Structure 1
Amino acid sequence: MSRELLARETKEREILHKHPVPGKILSEFVIPAKEYASLTMKQGQTLRFVDMEGKQVPDVVCFNAHDLSEELNMGNTLLINKRRELVKGNVLYSVIANPMMTITGYSNELSYSYGPMCSEEVNRIRYGMACTRNCRDNFAMALSGWGFTARTIPNAFVPFMHVAVDAQGNMEIREPTSKPGDYYDLRAEMDLVVGISNCPQERNPCNGWKPTPMGVIVYEA
Protein backbone atom coordinates (compact mmCIF):
# COMPACT_ATOMS: atom_id res chain seq x y z
CA MET A 1 0.00 0.00 0.00
CA SER A 2 1.39 3.40 -0.98
CA ARG A 3 2.07 6.01 1.66
CA GLU A 4 -0.49 8.33 0.05
CA LEU A 5 -3.23 5.68 0.08
CA LEU A 6 -2.44 4.75 3.68
CA ALA A 7 -2.66 8.40 4.73
CA ARG A 8 -6.00 8.79 2.97
CA GLU A 9 -7.46 5.69 4.60
CA THR A 10 -6.19 6.79 8.01
CA LYS A 11 -7.85 10.18 7.61
CA GLU A 12 -11.07 8.52 6.48
CA ARG A 13 -11.14 6.31 9.58
CA GLU A 14 -10.48 9.32 11.81
CA ILE A 15 -13.45 11.19 10.34
CA LEU A 16 -15.70 8.12 10.41
CA HIS A 17 -14.97 7.63 14.12
CA LYS A 18 -14.73 11.27 15.20
CA HIS A 19 -17.70 10.63 17.48
CA PRO A 20 -17.32 7.24 19.23
CA VAL A 21 -20.09 4.72 18.60
CA PRO A 22 -21.91 3.71 21.84
CA GLY A 23 -21.94 0.02 21.04
CA LYS A 24 -20.54 -2.79 18.90
CA ILE A 25 -19.90 -1.95 15.24
CA LEU A 26 -21.45 -4.54 12.92
CA SER A 27 -20.47 -2.96 9.61
CA GLU A 28 -19.08 0.27 8.23
CA PHE A 29 -18.40 1.64 4.77
CA VAL A 30 -18.26 4.86 2.77
CA ILE A 31 -20.67 5.58 -0.09
CA PRO A 32 -18.88 7.50 -2.88
CA ALA A 33 -20.26 10.85 -4.03
CA LYS A 34 -23.55 10.52 -5.97
CA GLU A 35 -23.81 6.76 -5.33
CA TYR A 36 -26.12 4.51 -3.32
CA ALA A 37 -26.33 1.49 -1.04
CA SER A 38 -28.79 -0.92 0.52
CA LEU A 39 -28.64 -3.01 3.67
CA THR A 40 -30.74 -4.98 6.13
CA MET A 41 -31.10 -4.22 9.82
CA LYS A 42 -32.42 -6.16 12.80
CA GLN A 43 -34.72 -4.53 15.34
CA GLY A 44 -32.62 -2.61 17.88
CA GLN A 45 -29.65 -1.99 15.60
CA THR A 46 -28.68 1.61 14.83
CA LEU A 47 -27.79 3.19 11.49
CA ARG A 48 -25.31 6.04 11.72
CA PHE A 49 -24.63 8.49 8.89
CA VAL A 50 -21.29 10.32 9.02
CA ASP A 51 -20.71 13.36 6.80
CA MET A 52 -17.17 12.76 5.55
CA GLU A 53 -16.35 16.18 4.05
CA GLY A 54 -19.21 18.39 5.24
CA LYS A 55 -22.37 19.77 3.61
CA GLN A 56 -23.58 16.42 2.23
CA VAL A 57 -27.00 14.83 2.73
CA PRO A 58 -28.09 11.17 2.61
CA ASP A 59 -31.65 10.27 1.62
CA VAL A 60 -32.94 7.18 3.42
CA VAL A 61 -36.02 4.97 2.90
CA CYS A 62 -36.95 1.76 4.68
CA PHE A 63 -39.32 -1.20 4.45
CA ASN A 64 -40.51 -3.93 6.78
CA ALA A 65 -38.14 -6.81 5.99
CA HIS A 66 -40.98 -9.33 6.43
CA ASP A 67 -43.59 -7.39 4.42
CA LEU A 68 -42.08 -5.07 1.82
CA SER A 69 -45.44 -3.42 1.19
CA GLU A 70 -45.06 -1.74 4.59
CA GLU A 71 -42.93 1.26 3.72
CA LEU A 72 -41.77 4.48 5.32
CA ASN A 73 -44.45 7.17 5.25
CA MET A 74 -43.33 10.71 5.99
CA GLY A 75 -46.91 12.03 6.06
CA ASN A 76 -47.78 9.72 8.96
CA THR A 77 -44.45 10.58 10.57
CA LEU A 78 -45.17 14.32 10.65
CA LEU A 79 -48.81 13.84 11.68
CA ILE A 80 -48.05 11.53 14.61
CA ASN A 81 -45.03 13.48 15.86
CA LYS A 82 -46.96 16.77 15.44
CA ARG A 83 -43.78 18.38 14.13
CA ARG A 84 -42.41 19.54 10.80
CA GLU A 85 -38.78 19.57 11.99
CA LEU A 86 -37.96 16.21 13.56
CA VAL A 87 -35.65 15.96 16.57
CA LYS A 88 -34.08 13.37 18.88
CA GLY A 89 -36.73 11.02 20.22
CA ASN A 90 -39.07 11.43 17.26
CA VAL A 91 -40.09 8.28 15.39
CA LEU A 92 -40.32 7.54 11.65
CA TYR A 93 -43.60 5.71 10.97
CA SER A 94 -44.76 3.32 8.27
CA VAL A 95 -47.69 3.57 5.89
CA ILE A 96 -49.78 1.68 8.49
CA ALA A 97 -48.44 3.83 11.35
CA ASN A 98 -46.04 1.31 12.89
CA PRO A 99 -42.75 2.65 14.31
CA MET A 100 -39.90 1.95 11.87
CA MET A 101 -36.94 4.03 13.10
CA THR A 102 -36.26 6.35 16.02
CA ILE A 103 -33.93 9.35 15.93
CA THR A 104 -31.56 8.56 18.79
CA GLY A 105 -28.83 11.16 18.41
CA TYR A 106 -26.86 13.51 16.20
CA SER A 107 -24.14 16.13 16.23
CA ASN A 108 -26.08 18.21 13.67
CA GLU A 109 -29.86 18.20 14.10
CA LEU A 110 -30.95 19.52 10.69
CA SER A 111 -33.11 17.24 8.56
CA TYR A 112 -35.80 17.38 5.87
CA SER A 113 -38.97 15.33 6.08
CA TYR A 114 -41.83 17.06 4.27
CA GLY A 115 -41.21 16.84 0.55
CA PRO A 116 -40.14 14.57 -2.30
CA MET A 117 -36.61 13.70 -3.38
CA CYS A 118 -34.84 14.79 -6.56
CA SER A 119 -35.78 12.80 -9.66
CA GLU A 120 -35.19 12.85 -13.40
CA GLU A 121 -38.60 14.45 -13.95
CA VAL A 122 -38.28 17.08 -11.20
CA ASN A 123 -34.77 18.01 -12.32
CA ARG A 124 -36.05 18.48 -15.87
CA ILE A 125 -38.76 20.86 -14.66
CA ARG A 126 -36.52 22.80 -12.27
CA TYR A 127 -33.34 22.98 -14.32
CA GLY A 128 -34.31 22.17 -17.92
CA MET A 129 -31.85 19.27 -18.03
CA ALA A 130 -32.38 15.62 -18.95
CA CYS A 131 -30.47 12.49 -17.90
CA THR A 132 -29.37 13.87 -14.52
CA ARG A 133 -28.21 11.77 -11.57
CA ASN A 134 -30.95 11.79 -8.93
CA CYS A 135 -32.07 10.12 -5.71
CA ARG A 136 -35.12 8.34 -7.12
CA ASP A 137 -33.05 6.48 -9.71
CA ASN A 138 -30.37 5.82 -7.08
CA PHE A 139 -32.96 4.15 -4.86
CA ALA A 140 -34.31 2.10 -7.77
CA MET A 141 -30.82 0.73 -8.42
CA ALA A 142 -30.02 0.21 -4.75
CA LEU A 143 -33.27 -1.69 -4.13
CA SER A 144 -33.70 -3.52 -7.43
CA GLY A 145 -32.81 -6.80 -5.73
CA TRP A 146 -36.01 -6.50 -3.69
CA GLY A 147 -38.13 -5.75 -6.75
CA PHE A 148 -38.46 -1.99 -6.36
CA THR A 149 -38.53 0.48 -9.26
CA ALA A 150 -38.35 4.27 -9.45
CA ARG A 151 -42.16 4.44 -9.19
CA THR A 152 -42.39 2.29 -6.06
CA ILE A 153 -40.01 4.28 -3.85
CA PRO A 154 -41.65 6.28 -1.01
CA ASN A 155 -40.59 9.77 0.00
CA ALA A 156 -37.36 9.78 2.00
CA PHE A 157 -36.10 11.16 5.28
CA VAL A 158 -33.01 13.33 4.77
CA PRO A 159 -30.57 13.93 7.66
CA PHE A 160 -28.42 17.10 7.52
CA MET A 161 -30.59 18.74 4.81
CA HIS A 162 -31.20 22.45 5.38
CA VAL A 163 -34.54 23.84 4.20
CA ALA A 164 -35.67 27.25 5.45
CA VAL A 165 -39.36 28.22 5.54
CA ASP A 166 -40.30 31.90 5.76
CA ALA A 167 -43.35 33.50 7.36
CA GLN A 168 -45.31 33.18 4.11
CA GLY A 169 -44.59 29.44 3.88
CA ASN A 170 -42.06 29.70 1.07
CA MET A 171 -39.31 27.08 1.17
CA GLU A 172 -35.66 27.66 0.31
CA ILE A 173 -32.97 24.99 0.05
CA ARG A 174 -29.79 26.17 1.74
CA GLU A 175 -26.33 24.72 2.21
CA PRO A 176 -26.14 22.18 5.04
CA THR A 177 -24.33 23.26 8.18
CA SER A 178 -22.84 19.81 8.82
CA LYS A 179 -19.07 19.54 9.13
CA PRO A 180 -16.68 16.62 8.52
CA GLY A 181 -17.40 13.93 11.10
CA ASP A 182 -20.92 15.07 12.00
CA TYR A 183 -23.26 12.12 12.56
CA TYR A 184 -26.96 11.24 12.64
CA ASP A 185 -28.30 8.06 14.31
CA LEU A 186 -31.49 6.12 13.51
CA ARG A 187 -32.46 3.01 15.51
CA ALA A 188 -34.47 0.26 13.80
CA GLU A 189 -37.78 -0.47 15.55
CA MET A 190 -38.45 -3.53 13.36
CA ASP A 191 -36.41 -5.69 11.00
CA LEU A 192 -35.77 -3.49 7.97
CA VAL A 193 -34.62 -3.30 4.39
CA VAL A 194 -32.95 0.10 4.03
CA GLY A 195 -32.11 2.08 0.90
CA ILE A 196 -29.66 4.98 0.92
CA SER A 197 -29.03 7.55 -1.80
CA ASN A 198 -25.96 9.69 -1.23
CA CYS A 199 -27.73 12.64 -2.81
CA PRO A 200 -26.19 13.52 -6.20
CA GLN A 201 -27.86 16.94 -6.51
CA GLU A 202 -25.38 19.58 -7.69
CA ARG A 203 -27.70 22.21 -9.17
CA ASN A 204 -28.79 23.74 -5.87
CA PRO A 205 -27.18 24.23 -2.41
CA CYS A 206 -28.53 20.89 -1.08
CA ASN A 207 -25.01 19.39 -0.96
CA GLY A 208 -23.06 22.63 -0.91
CA TRP A 209 -23.08 22.53 -4.75
CA LYS A 210 -20.62 19.61 -4.72
CA PRO A 211 -21.68 16.05 -3.78
CA THR A 212 -19.16 14.24 -1.57
CA PRO A 213 -18.85 10.83 0.19
CA MET A 214 -21.06 9.69 3.08
CA GLY A 215 -20.00 7.32 5.84
CA VAL A 216 -22.32 4.58 7.10
CA ILE A 217 -22.00 2.59 10.33
CA VAL A 218 -24.40 -0.05 11.63
CA TYR A 219 -24.02 -0.83 15.33
CA GLU A 220 -25.84 -2.35 18.26
CA ALA A 221 -25.79 -1.25 21.88
Structure 2
Amino acid sequence: MQHLRRSPEEIAANRARYEDHQRKGLEFAPKALPAPSPLPAPPIDPALVLHRETLPGGWYWSTRVKTGETLRIAQEQGFSAISLIAWNAAETSERLNLVDTVKVQWTTALSKGRVIFSDMGRVMFSVTEDSSGAHDCLMGGSTAASNEAKYGQGLRNSRDNFILLATKAGLDRRDIPAALTLFAPIRVDADGKFAWKPELLHDGDYIHLRAEMDMIVGFSNCPHPLDPNPHYAPKPVTVTRIAAQPIAEDDLCRTATAEAVRGFENNAFANL
Protein backbone atom coordinates (compact mmCIF):
# COMPACT_ATOMS: atom_id res chain seq x y z
CA MET A 1 0.00 0.00 0.00
CA GLN A 2 1.39 3.36 -1.00
CA HIS A 3 1.55 6.07 1.64
CA LEU A 4 -0.31 9.27 0.87
CA ARG A 5 2.24 12.00 0.22
CA ARG A 6 1.35 15.61 0.85
CA SER A 7 2.56 18.29 -1.52
CA PRO A 8 5.05 20.91 -0.32
CA GLU A 9 2.27 23.48 -0.65
CA GLU A 10 -0.06 21.47 1.62
CA ILE A 11 2.69 20.93 4.18
CA ALA A 12 3.47 24.66 4.19
CA ALA A 13 -0.22 25.54 4.59
CA ASN A 14 -0.61 23.09 7.49
CA ARG A 15 2.49 24.50 9.19
CA ALA A 16 1.24 28.06 8.76
CA ARG A 17 -2.13 27.08 10.24
CA TYR A 18 -0.42 25.42 13.21
CA GLU A 19 1.85 28.41 13.80
CA ASP A 20 -1.16 30.74 13.65
CA HIS A 21 -2.98 28.66 16.29
CA GLN A 22 0.16 28.60 18.42
CA ARG A 23 0.62 32.37 18.15
CA LYS A 24 -3.01 33.04 19.09
CA GLY A 25 -2.70 30.69 22.05
CA LEU A 26 0.44 32.39 23.32
CA GLU A 27 -1.10 35.84 22.92
CA PHE A 28 -4.36 34.88 24.63
CA ALA A 29 -4.49 35.80 28.31
CA PRO A 30 -6.60 33.13 30.06
CA LYS A 31 -9.32 34.45 32.32
CA ALA A 32 -9.06 33.70 36.02
CA LEU A 33 -11.42 30.97 37.13
CA PRO A 34 -13.97 31.78 39.83
CA ALA A 35 -14.20 30.43 43.35
CA PRO A 36 -16.16 27.20 43.88
CA SER A 37 -19.93 27.45 43.66
CA PRO A 38 -21.71 28.18 46.96
CA LEU A 39 -23.12 25.58 49.31
CA PRO A 40 -25.80 24.57 49.88
CA ALA A 41 -26.85 24.27 46.25
CA PRO A 42 -29.41 26.94 45.33
CA PRO A 43 -32.91 25.71 44.44
CA ILE A 44 -33.82 25.16 40.82
CA ASP A 45 -36.87 26.95 39.43
CA PRO A 46 -39.46 24.12 39.16
CA ALA A 47 -40.58 25.50 35.80
CA LEU A 48 -37.13 24.70 34.38
CA VAL A 49 -36.93 21.09 35.59
CA LEU A 50 -37.36 18.69 32.66
CA HIS A 51 -36.62 15.52 34.59
CA ARG A 52 -35.17 14.43 37.90
CA GLU A 53 -33.64 11.01 38.50
CA THR A 54 -32.33 9.55 41.75
CA LEU A 55 -29.69 6.97 40.90
CA PRO A 56 -29.33 4.30 43.63
CA GLY A 57 -25.91 3.09 44.73
CA GLY A 58 -24.53 0.48 42.33
CA TRP A 59 -26.85 1.32 39.45
CA TYR A 60 -26.62 3.06 36.08
CA TRP A 61 -28.82 5.36 34.04
CA SER A 62 -28.68 7.18 30.72
CA THR A 63 -30.49 10.18 29.32
CA ARG A 64 -30.55 12.30 26.21
CA VAL A 65 -29.84 16.00 26.53
CA LYS A 66 -30.22 18.78 24.01
CA THR A 67 -27.84 21.63 23.32
CA GLY A 68 -28.07 24.30 26.02
CA GLU A 69 -29.69 22.08 28.64
CA THR A 70 -27.89 21.61 31.95
CA LEU A 71 -27.42 18.53 34.11
CA ARG A 72 -27.10 19.13 37.83
CA ILE A 73 -25.44 16.13 39.51
CA ALA A 74 -25.85 16.47 43.26
CA GLN A 75 -24.97 14.58 46.42
CA GLU A 76 -28.19 15.21 48.28
CA GLN A 77 -28.09 12.02 50.39
CA GLY A 78 -24.43 11.69 51.30
CA PHE A 79 -21.15 11.01 49.53
CA SER A 80 -20.88 8.93 46.38
CA ALA A 81 -18.51 9.19 43.44
CA ILE A 82 -20.36 8.82 40.14
CA SER A 83 -18.85 8.03 36.74
CA LEU A 84 -19.97 9.66 33.48
CA ILE A 85 -19.58 8.95 29.76
CA ALA A 86 -21.15 10.66 26.75
CA TRP A 87 -21.67 10.39 23.00
CA ASN A 88 -22.80 12.82 20.32
CA ALA A 89 -26.44 11.82 19.83
CA ALA A 90 -26.31 12.47 16.08
CA GLU A 91 -23.01 10.66 15.47
CA THR A 92 -22.05 8.27 18.26
CA SER A 93 -18.56 7.73 16.89
CA GLU A 94 -17.85 11.13 18.51
CA ARG A 95 -17.48 10.63 22.23
CA LEU A 96 -16.08 12.02 25.46
CA ASN A 97 -12.30 12.38 25.36
CA LEU A 98 -10.59 13.08 28.69
CA VAL A 99 -7.08 12.94 27.23
CA ASP A 100 -7.81 15.92 24.99
CA THR A 101 -9.77 17.64 27.78
CA VAL A 102 -6.68 17.51 30.01
CA LYS A 103 -4.12 18.14 27.29
CA VAL A 104 -5.57 21.23 25.67
CA GLN A 105 -6.43 22.93 28.98
CA TRP A 106 -3.10 22.02 30.61
CA THR A 107 -4.74 20.67 33.76
CA THR A 108 -6.35 17.56 35.19
CA ALA A 109 -8.41 19.70 37.60
CA LEU A 110 -11.87 20.24 36.16
CA SER A 111 -13.77 23.01 37.88
CA LYS A 112 -16.16 25.88 37.22
CA GLY A 113 -15.19 27.66 34.00
CA ARG A 114 -13.61 24.62 32.31
CA VAL A 115 -14.96 22.63 29.37
CA ILE A 116 -14.99 18.94 28.45
CA PHE A 117 -13.98 17.95 24.92
CA SER A 118 -14.95 15.23 22.49
CA ASP A 119 -12.45 13.25 20.41
CA MET A 120 -13.30 15.57 17.47
CA GLY A 121 -11.96 18.67 19.19
CA ARG A 122 -15.42 19.96 19.97
CA VAL A 123 -16.89 20.98 23.32
CA MET A 124 -19.37 18.53 24.81
CA PHE A 125 -19.92 20.12 28.24
CA SER A 126 -19.26 23.42 29.97
CA VAL A 127 -18.78 23.30 33.74
CA THR A 128 -20.99 26.23 34.72
CA GLU A 129 -21.22 25.49 38.46
CA ASP A 130 -19.10 23.29 40.71
CA SER A 131 -18.75 23.30 44.47
CA SER A 132 -15.63 21.14 44.80
CA GLY A 133 -13.42 20.64 41.73
CA ALA A 134 -12.83 17.12 43.06
CA HIS A 135 -13.24 15.11 39.86
CA ASP A 136 -11.07 12.35 38.40
CA CYS A 137 -10.01 12.57 34.75
CA LEU A 138 -7.22 10.01 35.12
CA MET A 139 -8.28 6.66 36.54
CA GLY A 140 -11.75 5.94 35.19
CA GLY A 141 -14.41 3.98 37.06
CA SER A 142 -14.45 0.66 38.87
CA THR A 143 -14.16 -2.77 37.23
CA ALA A 144 -15.11 -6.28 38.31
CA ALA A 145 -11.47 -6.90 39.23
CA SER A 146 -11.09 -3.73 41.30
CA ASN A 147 -14.34 -4.45 43.12
CA GLU A 148 -13.48 -8.07 43.83
CA ALA A 149 -10.03 -7.17 45.18
CA LYS A 150 -11.56 -4.75 47.65
CA TYR A 151 -15.07 -5.95 48.45
CA GLY A 152 -15.45 -9.51 47.20
CA GLN A 153 -17.58 -10.91 44.40
CA GLY A 154 -21.04 -10.03 43.19
CA LEU A 155 -21.08 -6.22 43.50
CA ARG A 156 -21.86 -3.94 40.57
CA ASN A 157 -19.06 -1.98 38.91
CA SER A 158 -18.94 0.90 36.44
CA ARG A 159 -17.31 -0.97 33.56
CA ASP A 160 -20.04 -3.61 33.44
CA ASN A 161 -22.73 -0.98 34.03
CA PHE A 162 -21.47 0.98 31.03
CA ILE A 163 -21.45 -2.16 28.86
CA LEU A 164 -25.11 -2.70 29.71
CA LEU A 165 -25.88 0.98 29.11
CA ALA A 166 -24.09 1.03 25.75
CA THR A 167 -25.82 -2.17 24.61
CA LYS A 168 -29.23 -0.70 25.36
CA ALA A 169 -28.25 2.35 23.28
CA GLY A 170 -27.35 0.12 20.33
CA LEU A 171 -23.60 0.53 20.89
CA ASP A 172 -20.76 -1.88 21.59
CA ARG A 173 -18.23 -2.09 24.42
CA ARG A 174 -15.57 -0.70 22.09
CA ASP A 175 -17.71 2.47 21.83
CA ILE A 176 -17.30 3.15 25.55
CA PRO A 177 -14.91 6.06 26.24
CA ALA A 178 -12.80 6.53 29.34
CA ALA A 179 -15.07 7.67 32.15
CA LEU A 180 -14.97 10.92 34.09
CA THR A 181 -15.63 10.23 37.78
CA LEU A 182 -17.30 13.13 39.57
CA PHE A 183 -16.71 13.76 43.28
CA ALA A 184 -13.58 11.61 43.26
CA PRO A 185 -10.78 13.75 44.80
CA ILE A 186 -7.85 12.24 42.93
CA ARG A 187 -4.57 14.12 42.70
CA VAL A 188 -1.05 13.04 41.75
CA ASP A 189 1.48 13.32 44.58
CA ALA A 190 5.16 14.27 44.39
CA ASP A 191 6.11 10.66 43.64
CA GLY A 192 3.70 10.44 40.71
CA LYS A 193 1.24 8.24 42.58
CA PHE A 194 -2.52 8.70 42.67
CA ALA A 195 -3.72 10.05 46.01
CA TRP A 196 -7.22 10.40 47.46
CA LYS A 197 -7.70 13.90 48.94
CA PRO A 198 -10.88 13.87 51.07
CA GLU A 199 -10.38 17.49 52.14
CA LEU A 200 -11.53 18.52 48.64
CA LEU A 201 -15.02 17.14 49.28
CA HIS A 202 -17.92 18.89 51.03
CA ASP A 203 -21.34 17.81 52.23
CA GLY A 204 -23.89 18.39 49.49
CA ASP A 205 -21.39 18.87 46.64
CA TYR A 206 -22.86 19.43 43.18
CA ILE A 207 -21.83 20.24 39.63
CA HIS A 208 -23.64 21.75 36.63
CA LEU A 209 -22.72 20.45 33.19
CA ARG A 210 -24.20 22.45 30.31
CA ALA A 211 -24.61 20.45 27.11
CA GLU A 212 -22.92 22.05 24.10
CA MET A 213 -24.31 19.49 21.66
CA ASP A 214 -27.15 16.97 21.62
CA MET A 215 -25.86 13.95 23.56
CA ILE A 216 -26.49 10.57 25.10
CA VAL A 217 -25.09 10.74 28.63
CA GLY A 218 -24.54 7.72 30.86
CA PHE A 219 -23.95 7.50 34.61
CA SER A 220 -22.76 4.73 36.92
CA ASN A 221 -23.02 5.14 40.68
CA CYS A 222 -20.31 2.82 41.97
CA PRO A 223 -17.41 3.42 44.39
CA HIS A 224 -14.17 4.74 42.94
CA PRO A 225 -11.28 2.23 43.10
CA LEU A 226 -9.36 4.48 45.51
CA ASP A 227 -12.28 5.29 47.80
CA PRO A 228 -10.83 4.54 51.26
CA ASN A 229 -14.15 3.28 52.64
CA PRO A 230 -13.63 -0.50 53.14
CA HIS A 231 -17.37 -1.08 52.68
CA TYR A 232 -19.30 -0.97 49.41
CA ALA A 233 -21.71 1.81 50.35
CA PRO A 234 -22.44 4.31 47.53
CA LYS A 235 -25.25 6.73 48.38
CA PRO A 236 -28.01 7.73 45.93
CA VAL A 237 -27.09 10.59 43.56
CA THR A 238 -29.64 12.99 42.09
CA VAL A 239 -29.40 14.05 38.43
CA THR A 240 -31.65 16.93 37.35
CA ARG A 241 -32.11 17.90 33.70
CA ILE A 242 -32.68 21.65 33.44
CA ALA A 243 -34.13 23.50 30.44
CA ALA A 244 -31.84 25.60 28.27
CA GLN A 245 -31.38 29.25 29.20
CA PRO A 246 -29.89 32.17 27.19
CA ILE A 247 -26.08 32.18 27.14
CA ALA A 248 -24.22 35.48 27.43
CA GLU A 249 -21.69 36.44 24.75
CA ASP A 250 -18.98 36.73 27.40
CA ASP A 251 -19.88 33.39 29.01
CA LEU A 252 -16.83 32.34 31.03
CA CYS A 253 -16.64 28.76 29.75
CA ARG A 254 -16.72 29.98 26.15
CA THR A 255 -14.08 32.67 26.59
CA ALA A 256 -11.77 31.60 29.43
CA THR A 257 -9.02 30.08 27.28
CA ALA A 258 -7.89 30.08 23.66
CA GLU A 259 -8.48 26.32 23.58
CA ALA A 260 -12.10 26.73 24.65
CA VAL A 261 -12.65 29.45 22.06
CA ARG A 262 -11.26 27.15 19.37
CA GLY A 263 -13.40 24.24 20.59
CA PHE A 264 -16.56 26.31 20.29
CA GLU A 265 -15.48 27.44 16.84
CA ASN A 266 -15.30 23.74 15.92
CA ASN A 267 -18.82 23.28 17.28
CA ALA A 268 -20.11 26.16 15.17
CA PHE A 269 -18.32 24.93 12.04
CA ALA A 270 -19.85 21.45 12.42
CA ASN A 271 -23.34 22.99 12.52
CA LEU A 272 -22.97 24.91 9.26
For the aligned pair, the TM-score class normalised by the smaller chain equals: 0.7 to 0.9
- Which secondary structure does the structure 2 equivalent of 1:194 belong to? strand
| CA distance 1:53–1:68, shift in 2 (3 Å) | same
CA contact (8 A) 1:137 1:150 kept: no
| CA distance 1:211–1:202, shift in 2 (3 Å) | farther
- Residue of structure 1 equivalent to 2:52: 28
1:148 is displaced (CA, Å) by 2.8
Matched, 1:57 2:91: no
CA contact (8 A) 2:72 2:207 kept: yes
| CA distance 1:94–1:108, shift in 2 (3 Å) | same
Matched, 1:143 2:133: no
Which of 183, 195, 203 is the matching residue for 2:218? 195
Root-mean-square deviation (Å) = 2.5
Letter in 1 for 2:64: T
Which of 53, 57, 82 is the matching residue for 2:106? 82
- Which secondary structure does the structure 2 equivalent of 1:47 belong to? strand
- Residue of structure 1 equivalent to 2:228: 205
- Residue of structure 2 equivalent to 1:45: 69
Question: Greater relative contact order: 1 or 2 (C-alpha under 8 angstroms, separation 6 or more)?
Answer: 1
Letter in 1 for 2:55: I
Matched, 1:101 2:128: no
Letter in 2 for 1:93: F
- Residue of structure 2 equivalent to 1:160: 183
| Aligned residues with identical type, % of pairs | 30
Partners of 2:231 and 2:75 in 1: how far apart? 12
Which of 234, 239, 243 is the matching residue for 1:216? 239
TM-score normalised over the length of structure 1:
0.81
Partners of 1:213 and 1:130 in 2: how far apart? 21
Letter in 1 for 2:84: V
Matched, 1:170 2:202: no
- Which secondary structure does the structure 1 equivalent of 2:133 belong to? coil
Letter in 2 for 1:194: V
- Which secondary structure does the structure 2 equivalent of 1:141 belong to? helix
Letter in 1 for 2:158: C
Mind listing any 5+ residue stretches in structure 1 that lack a counterpart? 1-16
CA contact (8 A) 1:56 1:206 kept: no
Comparing 204-213 with 183-192, greater Cα deviation is found at 204-213
CA contact (8 A) 1:173 1:206 kept: no
- Residue of structure 2 equivalent to 1:92: 116
CA contact (8 A) 1:174 1:206 kept: no
Partners of 2:184 and 2:128 in 1: how far apart? 17
- Which secondary structure does the structure 2 equivalent of 1:102 belong to? strand
CA contact (8 A) 1:91 1:99 kept: yes
1:33 is displaced (CA, Å) by 1.1
Letter in 2 for 1:173: W
Aligned length: 203
| CA distance 1:162–1:209, shift in 2 (3 Å) | farther
CA contact (8 A) 1:64 1:190 kept: yes
- Which secondary structure does the structure 2 equivalent of 1:143 belong to? helix
Q: Which has the larger radius of gyration?
A: 2
Partners of 2:75 and 2:105 in 1: how far apart? 26
